[in-house]
């Protein structure tokens, strides 16, 4: 199946994007979909001026849709425009069809660049203004970290910071060899189940070594700046294991063959206002020759696996090696953080 995507009505598509990006236009969202449900053709559906809540009414559980949303963030009395790319995969789409749409997603995403953050969802609760702004503020570092009264008493222990150690439960039991995938990289996590399941996701088991690999990447003092995770024997029914770790971003690329699925966490350093800041990129690699049934299966793992790698600053879906080199990864990180230079 081809990964190329065409625009049957290119003029209306590009006009809609240009209108949304124009500071002079009141349009703040635009919605796109597949022409006659053909995975290789996309077109402009509609746009609006009343924000994400207006757009939510257009989402369809039986369709794959794409949206670009224009938001404004105010910080230190300065207002900046942020663009959000939305990838909607309806709950009612059969697994095989999801796999076919997944093959072309990397090509489709290019039509919406540049944007600051991406949201992959099948839930309209994640398309509200409040939710989107929360994600933007998390990404830019402007979100308030002050806890409301009483929140600190109920706030669970953070589970994603570098150097976090595993704790036994109150009975003194030690962790099992398989970790709860949903517990990695999330607040209030515990370690020791045999599988993890996020809301709307399927259970996925992993080897204990995976938790250590993710933790090492988050540890600024550790030499590993990336870890690659995949299914044992490349079988999506098997547990997730560590495929490799390394000190150079380019080193993980040989693991990304055209018939495998790989999840990668990468630590990079971005310069913002002359200050080095650590950023994390999450890469989901799905090779062009991965079978449709496997693509469909991993779509049910998506929420649970993303929990394992969270938090991260950018989410990169890749199917060809040109999408995972150092330049592309840094370009996406800098676009998201606002540090990318636009001087030509």
Q: Write out the chain in H/E/C secondary structure.
A: CCCCCECCCHHHHHHHHHHHHCCCCCCCEEEEEEHHHCCCEEEEEEEECCCHHHHHCCCCCCCEEEEEEEEEEEECCEEEEEEEEEEEECCCCCHHHHHHHHHHHHHHHHCCCCCCEEEEECCHHHHCHHHHHHHHHHHHCCCCCCCCCCHHHHCCCCCCCCCCCCCCCCCCCCCCCEEEHHHCCCCCCCCCCCCECCCCCCCEEEEHHHHHHHHHHHCCCCCCCEEEEEEHHHCCCCCEEEEEEECCHHHHHHHCCCCCEEEEEEEEEEEECCEEEEEEEEEEEECCCCCHHHHHHHHCCHHHHHHHHCCCCEEEEECCHHHCCHHHHHHHHHHHHCCCCCCC
Q: Specify the pLDDT at position 301.
A: 83
Q: Specify the pLDDT at position 184.
A: 35
Token pair recorded at residue 300: 């049910």
Token pair recorded at residue 12: 């209306």
- One digit per residue, the tens of pLDDT, for the chain of length 344 reads 677 899 999 999 999 999 999 989 999 999 999 998 899 999 999 999 999 999 999 999 999 999 999 998 876 667 788 999 999 999 999 888 888 898 898 889 989 988 888 999 999 999 999 999 998 888 766 555 444 444 444 444 433 333 333 333 333 343 333 333 333 333 333 233 334 544 445 577 777 889 899 999 999 889 999 999 999 999 998 999 999 999 998 899 999 999 999 999 999 988 766 778 888 999 999 988 888 888 888 888 887 788 888 888 888 888 888 888 888 888 888 877 665 554 44
Token pair recorded at residue 259: 């018939």
**What is the C-alpha end-to-end distance of the chain, expressed in Å?**
37
As to burial, measured by CB atoms within 10 angstroms (0-12 exposed, 13-18 middle, 19+ buried), residue 255 is middle
Pair type for strands 314-318 and 275-286: parallel
What 33-37 contacts at long range (C-beta under 8 Å, 24+ apart), as own/partner pairs, is 33/63, 33/64, 33/65, 33/66, 34/63, 34/64, 34/101, 35/8, 37/63
Per the DSSP assignment, residues forming a β-bridge with 47 are 30
Q: Of 221, 260, 268, 220, which Cα lies nearest the Cα of 244?
A: 260
Q: Specify the pLDDT at position 247.
A: 92
Q: What angle do CA 133, 19, 136 make, to 5 degrees?
A: 15
Q: Specify the pLDDT at position 193.
A: 32
Q: Specify the pLDDT at position 77.
A: 63
Q: Specify the pLDDT at position 138.
A: 81
């Amino acid at each position: 199946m081809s990964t190329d995507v065409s625009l049957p009505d290119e003029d209306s598509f590009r006009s809609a994007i240009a209108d949304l990006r124009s500071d002079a236009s009141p349009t703040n969202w635009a919605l796109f979909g597949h022409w006659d449900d053909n995975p290789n053709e996309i077109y402009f559906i509609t746009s609006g001026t009343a924000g994400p809540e207006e757009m939510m009414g257009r989402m369809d559980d039986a369709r794959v849709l794409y949206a670009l949303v224009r938001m404004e963030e105010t910080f230190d009395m300065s207002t900046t425009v942020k663009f959000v790319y939305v990838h909607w995969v309806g709950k009612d789409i059969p697994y095989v069809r999801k796999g076919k749409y997944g093959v072309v997603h990397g090509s489709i995403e290019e039509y919406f660049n540049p944007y600051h953050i991406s949201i992959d969802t099948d839930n309209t609760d994640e398309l509200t203004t409040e939710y989107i702004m929360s994600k933007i503020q998390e990404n830019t570092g402007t979100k308030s970290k002050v806890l409301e009264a009483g929140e600190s008493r109920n706030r669970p222990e953070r589970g994603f910071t570098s150097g976090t150690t595993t704790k036994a439960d109150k009975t003194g039991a030690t962790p099992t060899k398989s970790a709860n995938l949903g517990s990695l990289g999330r607040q209030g996590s515990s370690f020791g189940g045999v599988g993890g399941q996020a809301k709307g996701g399927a259970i996925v088991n992993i080897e204990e070594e995976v938790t250590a690999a993710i933790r090492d990447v988050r540890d600024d003092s550790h030499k590993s700046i990336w870890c690659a995770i995949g299914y044992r024997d490349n079988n999506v029914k098997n547990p997730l294991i560590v495929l490799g770790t390394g000190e150079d971003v380019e080193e993980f690329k040989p693991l990304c063959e055209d018939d495998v699925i790989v999840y990668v966490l990468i630590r990079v350093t971005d310069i913002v206002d002359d200050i080095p800041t650590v950023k994390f990129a999450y890469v989901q690699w799905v090779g062009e020759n991965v079978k449709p049934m496997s693509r469909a299966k991993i779509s049910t793992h998506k929420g649970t696996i993303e929990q394992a790698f969270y938090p991260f600053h950018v989410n990169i879906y890749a199917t060809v090696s040109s999408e995972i080199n150092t330049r592309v990864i840094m370009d996406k990180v800098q676009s998201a953080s606002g540090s990318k230079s636009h001087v030509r």
